[in-house]
Amino acid sequence: MPRWLPRAMVLALSLVAVFQLGSWAFHRLTGLLINVLIAFFLALAIEPAVSWMASRGLRRGVAACLVFLGVLAGAAGFVTLMSSMLADQIIRIIDDFPAYLDSVINWINVHFDTELRRVDVQESLLSSDWLHKYVENSASGVLDVSAQVLGGLFQLLTVALFSFYFAADGPRLRRALCSVLPPAKQAEVLRAWEIAVDKTGGYIYSRGLMALVSGLAHYVLLQFLDVPYAPVLAVWVGLVSQFIPTIGTYLAGALPMLIAFTVNPWYALWVLIFVVVYQQFENYLLQPKLTARTVDIHPAVAFGSVIAGTALLGAVGALIAIPAVATLQAFLGAYVKRYDVTDDPRVHGHRRGAADAAARGLFRRARRLWGGSRV
């Protein structure tokens, strides 16, 4: 046996063991790593506000705490308003359910020549096996829902703590990272960090401004139609349509359409038309002006990045995909050499040369054949 063979076998087995251990640890820590990634992007988003307060003499820890308190107060107010609105709507639906049921039964009796009664329908529903099974499943699922809520609250706390530390100790974190790199690499890391802060913060602030404009526009419409809970619905449309990529507009418009339908079915149609028209106005006029200097990426690239982020990290990937791609695009743009485009008609999608002459010849020949056929 060669002398190197036992040593090579031990080295190979050690590498396999290290790989297996690393894979096991990575899968165990995937949730924590995702929370840290969310916290990092959230800290990048609030970094401009924290730095602005720190430049005016406020300690970074106090500045980060004030920003987080503002975000927490806004989120708590939004959740409270939405909860009260949903509770009122559920109570109203329960109170009006007998009237709805009577109207449906009358319509069925008139059109299908039946003799249904609300009492018979209620008794059949209460005595059905489906209702009993549904109640049993709901009762057994309460514990699962409670566990999921507690897990979600723990994840939110973890993200908030890491975001606070990243935002409050941003300079110290950059200094610690640069201390293990040579000077040339330190400049590149600091430049990439600055671009990430600008793009992520610009994305959040531009989306917030568009959410404000969208909420005001939809509030005017809902108030004009006398739809209940117009302020809450306007806040819902503004936030959901801007901070949930791709499908946020449709999710945001569904709730006010449903509430408007309870007032008048035609109002729901008007809300749908307004949502579609406003979306075109936002896509072609408002969004290009607000995001020209922050996250100016092509809509197809943004859509593809959202799909890729969703495939990799789910909803988290969909939220951070656009600022991450914008950061990468801005960082790589400094290293890609660009040239002046030649003045060629083909750049603008026009033909020239032999192909253009052949096309003109075919057109003349077709005209002559058409003239001869008419004669």
Question: Can you give the residue ranges of every domain in the chain?
Answer: 32-180, 183-334
Region of poorest pLDDT, from 88-92, 170-174, 201-205, 264-268: 88-92
Count other Cβ atoms within 10 Å, centred on residue 209. Answer: 14
Q: Which tops the pLDDT comparison, 109 or 122?
A: 109
DSSP 8-state secondary structure symbol assigned to residue 179:
T
Q: What is the pLDDT of residue 15?
A: 92
Q: What is the pLDDT of residue 19?
A: 92
Task: Tell me what the mean pLDDT of segment 321-341 comes to.
Answer: 70
Task: Tell me what the mean pLDDT of segment 43-50 comes to.
Answer: 83
**pTM for the complete prediction?**
0.65
pLDDT in tens, 236-278: 888 888 877 667 777 888 888 888 887 787 888 898 899 888 8
Q: What does the block give as tokens for 171?
A: 């300079």
pLDDT in tens, 140-198: 555 565 666 677 778 788 888 888 888 888 888 888 888 888 887 888 878 878 877 87
Would you say 259 and 278 are in contact if contact means Cβ atoms under 8 Å apart? no
- How far apart (Å, rounded) are the C-alpha atoms in residues 255 and 246? 17
- Asked whether residue 297 carries a pLDDT value surpassing 70, the answer given is no
User: Of all helices (H) and strands (E), which one includes residue 141?
Assistant: none
Residue 303's nearest CA partner among 232, 227, 247 is 247
- Asked whether residue 97 carries a pLDDT value surpassing 60, the answer given is yes
Query: pLDDT-based confidence at 352, cuts 50/70/90?
Result: low
Question: What are the percentages of helix, strand and coil residues in the chain, rounded to 5?
Answer: 85, 0, 15
**CB < 8 Å & 24+ apart, contacts of 289-295:** 290/206, 290/209, 290/210, 291/202, 291/203, 291/206, 293/202, 294/198, 294/199, 294/202, 294/203, 294/205, 294/206, 294/326, 295/199, 295/202, 295/203, 295/206, 295/322, 295/323, 295/326
Q: What does the block give as tokens for 117?
A: 């009664």
Q: What does the block give as tokens for 298?
A: 């092509």
Query: pLDDT-based confidence at 334, cuts 50/70/90?
Result: low
Q: What is the pLDDT of residue 65?
A: 87
